[in-house]
Each structure stands twice: as structure tokens, then as C-alpha cells.
């Protein structure tokens, strides 16, 4: 004997409403989706602004280098340069303990590449008390030094990594020698009086590079000149002036 089950009026109403909708029940919108999108866009905009300012500040660093005759001479022969416009506490907003730097390499025809951004950690020597930070430049004197930046892993510019890093301030009155890298700073006492210095914890800064070019960019593509910007052209022009 079969028992007839009486449907609840609420169930019947729900079924009727679902038939009236072309796609059945619609899923309610996710709460906060718009806010998340706005937050993401704001973050990207801040990163782009930080990257642009970083490159503009790097132009000022190059002009200081060009103002020193011997550094100007080094840039003429350099294979690349790693510019750190602001090191230390003032650079924390750029995403690492020491801030960020931009790498440019010199092509076979003598022109300079567009910039690629890198996180940096700390100095392995120097940084005396009272030296809060400042601008730094690492002139890459040979391809051995340039190749360190093309590897994907965390690396250092130091004797431990097989490089000779000459402290410019400590050798300015004498011979600069045959170092793989010549380190320069605008801040008195930042490197101390040691003959060699080192920069640790360097790795590719994907976020700043993407923000600067407004798309996903690999290191090799940035250095090959596949992407450009007005800011990059200004920095390249400043280096070109130093390479004459």
C-alpha cells in the first residue's frame, strides 16, 4: 500500500520560482569581490608609482657618477650597472630589507638595455653607525658579474660568490684594480673603510618589473629591450652620456 506524501507549501513555492527563472536558482554574488578588485588595482598602482620613482631616482644617481671623472671612465668600459637609489630604512616600502635596485646591461653595439628590478638584502661589510643609507651603484666590469643577475636563484655580490667587489671610496686615491665589480656610494661611511664590500640577498623583483612595464616581464625580455617606457628611455640616455 503506497502512502501519498503531502508537499509543503514552501517547497511548492520554491519549485514554482525556479521554473520562472531561465537558469534556475542564481548563486548570490560573492561578498567583497568588488572590494578585492579595487584593493588589487590600488596595490598595482602603488607598485607602478614606486617603480617609476625608483627609475627617476636612478637617473639622478647616474648623473652623480658621470660627475666623477674616474667613475665616468668606468661606465665607458662597463658591461652593466646595478643602481640602488635608496638603501636602508627609507627603502623598506620597496619590498625587502634593503630596498630595491635596477639592473641595466650594455649590449654588443654599446647601447644600454631597459631596466630590470631586483630586491636586495643587506651589506656584508661597512654600514657604520650613523650611516642610515643612501644611493649606491655597482659597476659591473665584466660578463662574469653580469651573469650573476641572470640566474634565477638568490645570489650575492661578494667574495663568497666568486666576485671581487672593490670599494670605490677606499681606493679612490689609488688604483681601482681589476675588480669584477666597483662599488660606489653617495653616503660617507656607508661602506666603511674596508677594501671590499658585498651585497647579499639579491633576487629578481617580479612585482616591480611587471608594474613598471604594465605586463608580465621576464628578466631576459626586459634586458633584450622587448618592452620600453619613457622612464626607461631617460635612464638609458643618462647612461649613454656616461658612455661617450
Average pLDDT over residues 185-197: 76
214 in a domain, yes or no?
A: yes
Q: Between 23 and 171, where is the model more confident? A: 171
- Which strand (E) or helix (H) includes residue 33? helix 33-66
Q: How many C-beta atoms lie closer than 10 Å to residue 23's C-beta?
A: 7
166 forms beta bridges with 182, 196
Looking at the domain assignment, is residue 75 inside a domain?
Answer: yes
Residue 25 pLDDT greater than 50, yes or no:
no
Q: Is 150 helix (H, G, I), strand (E, B) or coil?
A: helix
Return d(Cα 46, Cα 42) in angstroms, integer: 6
What residue numbers bound the domain in which 134 lies? Answer: 52-242
Q: How many CB atoms lie within 10 A of CB 225?
A: 14
Residue with more model confidence, 63 or 87: 63
142 in a structural domain: yes
pTM: predicted TM-score of the whole model, two decimal places: 0.78
Asked whether residue 117 is assigned to any structural domain, the reply reads: yes
Structure letter (DSSP) for residue 148: H
Please report, for residues 54, 154, 200, 236, the alpha-carbon distance to residue 208 in angstroms, rounded to integers and kept in the order given. 10, 17, 19, 18
For the chain, percent of residues with pLDDT exceeding 90: 37
Residue 123 near residue 183, CB atoms below 8 Å:
no
Reported as a pLDDT band with limits 50, 70 and 90, residue 141 is very high
pLDDT in tens, 72-103: 888 999 999 999 998 765 444 444 456 789 99
- Asked whether residue 174 carries a pLDDT value surpassing 60, the answer given is no
Cα–Cα distance for residue pair 230/233, rounded to 1 Å: 5
Residue 163 within a domain: yes
Q: Cell numbers of 107, please?
A: 649590449
* Domain assignment of residue 25, yes or no: no
On whether residue 130 sits in a domain, the answer given is yes
Question: Which residue matches cell numbers 598602482?
Answer: 45
The answer to whether residue 16 is domain-embedded is: no
Q: How many domains does the chain have?
A: 1
Amino acid at each position: 500500500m503506497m502512502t501519498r506524501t503531502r508537499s509543503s507549501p514552501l517547497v511548492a513555492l520554491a519549485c514554482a520560482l525556479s521554473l520562472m527563472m531561465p537558469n534556475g536558482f542564481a548563486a548570490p554574488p560573492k561578498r567583497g569581490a568588488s572590494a578585492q578588485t579595487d584593493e588589487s588595482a590600488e596595490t598595482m598602482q602603488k607598485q607602478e608609482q614606486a617603480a617609476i620613482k625608483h627609475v627617476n631616482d636612478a637617473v639622478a644617481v647616474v648623473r652623480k657618477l658621470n660627475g666623477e671623472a674616474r667613475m665616468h671612465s668606468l661606465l665607458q668600459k662597463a658591461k652593466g650597472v646595478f643602481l640602488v637609489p635608496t638603501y636602508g630604512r627609507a627603502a623598506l616600502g620597496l619590498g625587502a630589507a634593503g630596498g630595491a635596485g635596477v639592473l641595466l646591461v650594455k649590449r654588443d653595439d654599446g647601447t644600454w638595455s631597459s631596466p630590470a628590478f631586483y630586491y636586495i638584502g643587506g651589506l656584508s661589510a661597512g654600514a657604520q653607525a650613523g650611516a642610515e643609507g643612501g644611493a649606491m651603484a655597482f659597476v659591473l666590469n665584466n660578463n662574469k658579474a653580469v651573469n650573476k643577475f641572470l640566474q634565477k636563484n638568490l645570489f650575492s655580490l661578494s667574495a663568497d660568490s666568486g666576485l671581487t667587489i672593490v670599494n670605490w671610496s677606499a681606493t679612490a686615491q689609488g688604483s681601482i684594480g681589476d675588480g669584477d665589480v666597483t662599488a660606489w656610494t653617495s653616503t660617507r661611511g656607508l661602506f666603511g673603510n674596508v677594501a671590499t664590500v658585498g651585497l647579499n640577498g639579491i633576487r629578481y623583483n617580479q612585482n616591480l618589473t611587471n608594474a613598471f612595464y604594465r605586463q608580465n616581464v621576464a628578466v631576459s625580455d626586459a634586458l633584450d629591450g622587448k618592452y620600453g617606457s619613457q622612464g626607461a628611455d631617460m635612464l638609458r640616455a643618462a647612461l649613454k652620456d656616461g658612455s661617450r
